Amino acid sequence: MASEAYQGRPSLLRKPGSLGSVGWVFGFIVLAAGVSFFKLDLFHTDIWPNAGGWQLAGDFFSQAQHPALRFVGEGTPQGALDLPLQALQAAFNTIVFAAAAISLALVGGLLLGFVGSSVWWDHADARWSGWGPVITFLARSVMTGMRSVHELVWAVLLLAALGRGELVAVVAIAIPYTGTLAKIFSEMLDEAPSESASALRLAGASTLNWYAFGLVPQAMPDMLAYVFYRFECALRSSAVLGFFGFPTLGYYISASFENLYYAEVWSYLYVLMALILLVDWWSGKLRQAVQS
């Protein structure tokens, strides 16, 4: 996953292995890809669409240049602004679900990331430091369990257990995102530059002050950048939850696609793309403000 690979600024990246190690890893990836292609018969000519498939794809992508501003189907509202207003309402619902989910995930991620950060336990008082490896192991096991199950699977499980509801959709996104945020936060804290924090420690600062005012500010820009990245992912996950019946952009994309109203589909897709671009621009501006 892309979220797993993100490790902040280049200065925080782990040192790469030797060329020989990289070669072995690359060779293993190529071998695994080749075996997978043969196992799935991806070299077979049947994977290529037939004439009808090419025509369907052509019809779909040809509508990308002509997104609908009116509803296409018969019996649907024909007002000039009805579809744009519905798309904006769906976009707002998408943002609401994503914001609620990332808010829950951020709280849980910070708490778990703090507990799972080995650097805290390495500098804790002697009475607590002995428990550090055990607590870190337990916290990281919880992180792994939470993020190992995709949000769509969580949605299926929670919908089956609790029924359809907005809270179910929010929690389905928040659970795996909590585990992912916690993992990345703990690693960023462990790898953050510690020179200024060490100076505070030498000046007699307590462990809490050393951690809160010396170490956390060093990792904060990277943590903030990653939160915005996960918010972008939450927007996409929120949109996809529309396929389960929640009134996000995915709900209208699914309905329009099933009825072959491709122009409507592209209208909703463009709104979703605009949301992602807006969040990306906003996160860039905020990172610049924090780092300046």
Which two structure tokens, joined as six digits, stand for 89?
């309402």
Which amino acid appears at position 125 of this protein?
D
If you write DSSP's letter for every residue of 249-271 in order, what string do you get? HHHHHHHHHHTT-HHHHHHHHHH
Q: Do residues 250 and 239 lie in contact, with contact meaning Cβ atoms separated by under 8 Å? A: yes
Structure tokens, 68: 């609908």
Q: Is pTM beyond 0.75 here?
A: yes
What average pLDDT does this structure show over 46-68? 79
CA pseudo-torsion sign 87, 89, 92, 98: negative
231: pLDDT strictly greater than 80: yes
Write down the pLDDT at residue 154. 92
Domain spans of the chain? 84-291
Out of 30-34, 61-65, 118-122, 271-275, least confident range: 118-122
Percent with pLDDT over 90 in the chain: 32
Strands (E), the chain: none
Q: Is the pLDDT of residue 2 over 50?
A: no
pLDDT at 9: 46
Sequence-distant (≥ 6) Cβ neighbours of residue 199 within 8 angstroms:
214
pLDDT at 13 over 50: no
Other C-beta atoms within 10 Å of 260: how many? 13
Calculate mean pLDDT across residues 52-68: 84
Q: What is the crossing angle of helices 249-258 and 216-240, to 10°? A: 30
CATH superfamily of 84-291: MetI-like (1.10.3720.10)
**Angle at CA of residue 89, ends 88 and 93, nearest 5°:** 115
d(CA 240, CA 97): 11
69-119: pLDDT as tens digits: 888 765 454 444 588 889 999 999 999 999 999 999 999 999 999 888 887
Q: What integer pLDDT is reported at residue 1 of this predicted model?
A: 43
Give 284 or 19, the one with higher predicted confidence: 284
Residue 120 to residue 45: CA distance in whole angstroms = 56
